[in-house]
Amino acid sequence: MITARAFSTIQAIERSAWNDCFPEALEDWDYYLAVEKAAIADFQWRYLAVFEGSTLVAVAPAFTTQYRLDTTVSGLAKRFTERLERQWPGVLQLRLYAIGSPVAEQCNAGTASHVPPQRRQALLEELLKLARRDADSFGIGLLAVKDAPSHDQQWADSCLAAGLQAMPSLPTALLPVPFASIDAYLGTLGKSTRKDLRRKLRAPGPRIEWRRQIDDVLPDIMRLYEATLNRSDLQFERLPADYFTAILEQLGDRAACVLYWVGEQLVAFNLILIDQHRLIDKFFAHDLNVSREHNLYFRSWLANVDYCIQQRIPLYECGQAGYASKLRLGCRFTGNMLFFRHRNPLLNALLKVIKRFVRPDRSDPAMAAAISEST
């Protein structure tokens, strides 16, 4: 007998059963527990679970929040939507119930390892039905699936069968790391990029320190984080200090904070997740006043690539921003999709029109190139 339930804490679901649905995931039960403990403002967490008898057979994280429809656009499109918001305050904001997470790389709906592939889509459809009922219980009309991997056709088919509309979301940048050395990696890049990076490497660089305990430098980390966040057009959430400490505490040796020092001054940090399969770059923040002089972004990039080489980690996952630089640095891109539907037919029709103007592939040429490459 199939039953479906939504929970407000991941601790209501057995850790091993959740992780069985997401084999080899770095953003696993422990990661979501750390996120939950961090109490990120303006987000409420939900965990969708489908059971067969007492056995967990399908799960997905979810959240509710107040959402700006132009969150993933920049440039001219962003300026246009900001004018709309000034003229009609609140016109671009709706309460949202989304499957996925604002702090996960993708929305992967999971099924248990014993579930045969031919049953998976039916279970995914049960998750979507549960999400709609759960959203209704909160009085939320807009249901979405955030950053579903484009290659997961069963997930896409389930969303379309549920009547959700589709549009491209921000692609994820990936750098395969089969290289024997940094010099071998540089040799795969374009001539001007290769020459520029070698010149940067010859200059004196910051001191690099790997940490799993950051309490003594947390005020400086948050200063760098806030400054970087305020420069970004695309940030969805505002992370509290507890997010960084909870991730390091809960994930143990699968997380690290890489610190960059110039003298006694902390000038940058990079929160990463790591295992034998991948290194995920979760957040990089830096002091803009010293960034150009010390090439902090590229220093961090090369430090991460070098760590992958030394530890024989085959994949560097480097997020959903900075597409122009990542194209130069040899990344490939994997596509993501956003699915959505509002239960109010008039609002749903309006969203069909709005999506033509807030698509990420229409606002940034570098992003459009990345999306094109991922399709």
Q: For residue 79, tell me if it sits in a domain.
A: yes
301: containing domain? 177-312
Point out the least confidently predicted range of 46-50, 88-92, 233-237, 309-313.
Answer: 88-92
Residue 195 sits in the same domain as residue 71: no
Residue 25 sits in the same domain as residue 57: yes
Q: For residue 338, tell me if it sits in a domain.
A: no
Q: For residue 317, tell me if it sits in a domain.
A: no
pLDDT at 202 (0 to 100): 87
Residue 228 sits in the same domain as residue 110: no
Residue 154 sits in the same domain as residue 210: no
pTM of structure: 0.90
pLDDT at 344 (0 to 100): 92
Residue 157 sits in the same domain as residue 112: yes
Residue 196 sits in the same domain as residue 87: no
Residue 231 sits in the same domain as residue 284: yes
Can you give the CATH number for the domain in which 50 is found? 3.40.630.30
- Per-residue pLDDT of 354-375, as tens digits, reads 777 666 666 666 666 666 666 6
pLDDT band at residue 121 using 50, 70 and 90 as cut-offs: very high
pLDDT at 293 (0 to 100): 82
Q: How far apart are CA 238 and CA 43, in angstroms?
A: 10
Q: For residue 228, tell me if it sits in a domain.
A: yes
Of 264, 290, 312, which residue is a domain's last? 312
Domain count for the chain: 2
Residue 182 sits in the same domain as residue 152: no
- Per-residue pLDDT of 103-118, as tens digits, reads 999 888 999 999 999 9
pLDDT at 254 (0 to 100): 97
Q: For residue 263, tell me if it sits in a domain.
A: yes
Residue 31: is its pLDDT beyond 70? Answer: yes
Q: For residue 328, tell me if it sits in a domain.
A: no
Of 312, 330, 360, which residue is a domain's last? 312
Of 99, 134, 162, which residue is a domain's last? 162
